[in-house]
Chain A
C-alpha cells in the first residue's frame, strides 16, 4: 500500500514564526502536492513538484514556499506565519505512468496537518 505521512497531525504556531510542514511518501512517486483545505472552499493547490528540485506554483502560492531535495520528501514552508494561514494542510503524491498521464495517475493523500496560527 502507498503510504504518505505528514510530520504532525496538529500544530500550533505564533504569528511571524517560520513553519515547516513535512511530507514523506514511500512509493517512489514523481509527483508531490501540497493543498490547503478550508470549509466551503474545498482543497486548493498551493504548490506541486514533479521531480527533485522541481516545483510549480499552484493556485494559492502566496506566503508559501516549498523544498524537494529528495524524491520521497516534500516540505511546505511558511516563511512568516500569519493567522490567515490557519488551515488544514494535505500532502499528496502520484506516479506518472511511462508515457501518458492516464487515469491511473491517482493521487494518494496523507492524513493532514491542522495548523493553528495564533
Chain B
C-alpha cells in the first residue's frame, strides 16, 4: 500500500544552521505531497504542498521540491530559528481530496540557541 517514511524521529540543531528533514514515499500513482507543522499543544497546520503550478513551494522560509524519480519531498530551510522547534509531518494524498492523507511518523525538530 501507499506509505510515507520520515527516517529521523528527532533532529536537534543550533540556531542559524540549515535544516533538512527527509521524506520519501511509496505510491502506485502520482500523489500530492504535503508538509504539516505542529507546535506544542497546537493543531497541525499546513506548511507546504507540492502542487503549486511549477513554482517551488515556499512558506515561512521553508521550501520543498518533489522529486518523482527518487520519490522524495524533503523539507529545507537555510537558517533555523528557535521558533521552528515543532513536530513536522510529511503526508501524501492520491487525489484532489487533500484531507484523506497518509502521514509519516513525524520528525521532531529542536532548535537550540
The yes or no verdict on A and B being binding partners is no
